[in-house]
């Protein structure tokens, strides 16, 4: 479980419930996150990975944002925002119309980030095991508007050596 703590911020009871599924996902990477319908992004500070986010196909025209994580030492520096914007730009280029995500109610900072970027609450799209989980949707046709300017790559280079890297197929 220690390895999983590196890429999640889930409380132990939640992690234990889904650990077998999460381990299969890690063992099969890139799996459903592979291009052309998926993507994986890492944020680096120097040579150290400080954040990640992935995208997979959810349904026709709809992608799902998963696994947004930023190391505690890199939080409050815009890493999560830049990773999310990079993913939204990629979703638009791939041809998705919208992106959905779910998050835990206690992840208030993440939920606020999603709202500021332009995600809107939506109905649950899967039977989440955590009561009151939050579900959001973003119309990627809005990418390129004021929501996503400046682009994630320009901004990443401009802030303290932070850079993002994307998987390519």
At residue 168, φ and ψ (nearest 5 deg) are: -130, 145
Q: Is residue 121 part of a domain?
A: yes
d(CA 16, CA 23): 11
Number of separate domains in the chain? 1
- As to burial, measured by CB atoms within 10 angstroms (0-12 exposed, 13-18 middle, 19+ buried), residue 39 is buried
Q: What is the pLDDT of residues 104-156, one digit of tens each?
A: 999 899 999 999 999 999 999 988 888 899 999 999 987 665 444 334 443 33
Q: Is residue 91 part of a domain?
A: yes
Q: Is residue 25 part of a domain?
A: no
Q: Tell me what pLDDT residue 31 has.
A: 85
| DSSP secondary structure of 98-166 | EEEEEE-TT-HHHHHHHHHHT-EE---SS--SSTT-EEEEEEGGGTTSGGG-S-HHHHHHHTTTEEEEE
Q: Is residue 115 part of a domain?
A: yes
Q: What is the pLDDT of residues 19-68, one digit of tens each?
A: 567 777 778 888 888 999 999 999 998 888 999 999 999 999 999 999 89
Q: Is residue 80 part of a domain?
A: yes
The DSSP bridge partners found for residue 66 are 54
pLDDT at 91 over 70: yes
Q: Tell me what pLDDT residue 129 has.
A: 81
pTM metric for this prediction: 0.77
**Tokens 């944020």, residue located:** 43
Q: Is residue 107 part of a domain?
A: yes
CATH code (residue 104) = 3.40.630.30
Check: CB of residue 55 under 8 Å from CB of residue 38: yes
Q: Tell me what pLDDT residue 155 has.
A: 39
Closest CA to 75 of 110, 112, 116: 110
């Amino acid at each position: 479980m220690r390895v999983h703590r590196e890429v999640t911020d889930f409380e132990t009871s939640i992690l234990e419930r889904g650990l077998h599924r999460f381990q299969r996902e890690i063992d099969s990477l890139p799996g459903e996150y592979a291009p052309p319908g998926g993507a994986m992004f890492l944020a680096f500070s120097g040579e150290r990975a400080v954040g990640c986010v992935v995208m997979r196909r959810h349904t026709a025209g709809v992608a799902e944002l998963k696994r947004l994580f930023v190391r505690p030492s890199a939080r409050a520096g815009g890493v999560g925002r830049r990773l999310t914007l990079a993913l939204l730009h990629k979703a638009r280029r791939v041809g998705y119309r919208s992106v959905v995500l779910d998050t835990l109610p206690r992840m208030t900072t993440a939920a606020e980030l999603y709202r500021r970027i332009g995600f809107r609450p939506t109905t649950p799209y899967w039977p989440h095991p955590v009561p009151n989980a939050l579900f959001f949707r973003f119309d990627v046709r809005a990418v390129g508007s004021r929501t996503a300017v400046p682009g994630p790559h320009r901004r990443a280079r401009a802030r303290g050596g932070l850079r993002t890297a994307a998987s390519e197929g």
